[in-house]
Copies of this chain bind each other. A is one copy, B any other.
Amino acid sequence: MPTRTAREVADYVGGALHGDEKVELHTVGSLERAEPGALAYAEAAYLPRVPATRASCVLVPPGEPPDRTVIVVERPRVAFARAAQWLLDRHRPEPGVHPTAIVARAAQLADDVHVGAWSLVEAGVTIGRGTVIHAGCYVGPGSRIGDDCLLFPRVVLYAATEIGDRVTIHAGVVIGADGFGFVFDGERHLKVPQVGHVAIGSDVEVGANSCIDRGALDETVVDDGVKIDNLCQIAHNVRIGTHATVSSQTGIAGSSTVGERATIGGQVGIADYCRIDPHGIVGAQCGVPSRKRVPAGEVYWGTPARPLRNIKKQQFYLNRLPRMADDVRRLQAEIEELKARLDRDRESAQ
Taking Cβ atoms with an 8 Å cutoff, the residues of A that contact B are 27-30, 32-34, 75, 77-78, 80-82, 84-85, 88, 91, 100, 102, 116-118, 120, 134-136, 138, 141, 152-154, 156, 158-159, 168, 170-172, 174, 177-178, 180, 182-185, 188-193, 195, 203, 205, 207-209, 211, 213, 216-218, 225, 227, 229-231, 233, 235, 243, 245, 247-249, 251, 253, 266-267, 269, 271, 284-285, 287, 289, 302-303, 313-314, 317-318, 320-322, 324-325, 327-328, 331-332, 334-335, 338-339, 341-342, 345-346, 349
Q: A328's contact among B217, B218, B331, by CB below 8 Å, is which?
A: B331
Please state if A172 and B156 are interface contacts (CB–CB under 8 Å): yes
Residues of chain B lying within 8 A (CB to CB) of residue A153: 120, 138, 156
Q: Considering the chains assembled together, what is the distance between the CA atoms of A230 and B88 in angstroms?
A: 33
Please state if B170 and A172 are interface contacts (CB–CB under 8 Å): no
Residues of chain B lying within 8 A (CB to CB) of residue A189: 225, 227, 243, 245
Nearest CB in chain B to that of A249: its residue:
B251
Residues of chain B lying within 8 A (CB to CB) of residue A102: 100, 117
Please state if B203 and A81 are interface contacts (CB–CB under 8 Å): no
Residues of chain B lying within 8 A (CB to CB) of residue A321: 314, 317-318, 321
Minimum CB–CB distance from A140 to chain B (whole Å) comes to 9
Please state if B314 and A193 are interface contacts (CB–CB under 8 Å): no
Please state if A287 and B287 are interface contacts (CB–CB under 8 Å): no
29 residue pairs A–B, Cβ–Cβ below 8 Å: A30-B217, A75-B185, A77-B192, A81-B192, A85-B191, A85-B193, A118-B120, A120-B135, A134-B138, A138-B153, A152-B156, A152-B177, A153-B156, A178-B207, A180-B207, A180-B230, A182-B245, A229-B233, A230-B233, A231-B251, A247-B253, A269-B285, A320-B325, A331-B331, A334-B335, A335-B335, A335-B338, A338-B342, A341-B342
Q: A324's contact among B168, B235, B289, B325, by CB below 8 Å, is which?
A: B325
Q: Which of A225, A231, A341 has the most CB of B within 10 A?
A: A231
Give the oligomeric copy count. Answer: 3
Please state if B233 and A231 are interface contacts (CB–CB under 8 Å): yes
Please state if B136 and A180 are interface contacts (CB–CB under 8 Å): no
Q: Considering the chains assembled together, what is the distance between the CA atoms of A183 and B321 in angstroms?
A: 40
Residues of chain B lying within 8 A (CB to CB) of residue A84: 192-193, 195
Q: Considering the chains assembled together, what is the distance between the CA atoms of A171 and B217 in angstroms?
A: 20
Please state if A185 and B78 are interface contacts (CB–CB under 8 Å): yes
Please state if A269 and B269 are interface contacts (CB–CB under 8 Å): no
Please state if B152 and A154 are interface contacts (CB–CB under 8 Å): no
Please state if A177 and B171 are interface contacts (CB–CB under 8 Å): yes
Please state if A33 and B233 are interface contacts (CB–CB under 8 Å): no
Q: A218's contact among B33, B117, B154, B231, by CB below 8 Å, is which?
A: B33
Q: Considering the chains assembled together, what is the distance between the CA atoms of A77 and B120 in angstroms?
A: 36
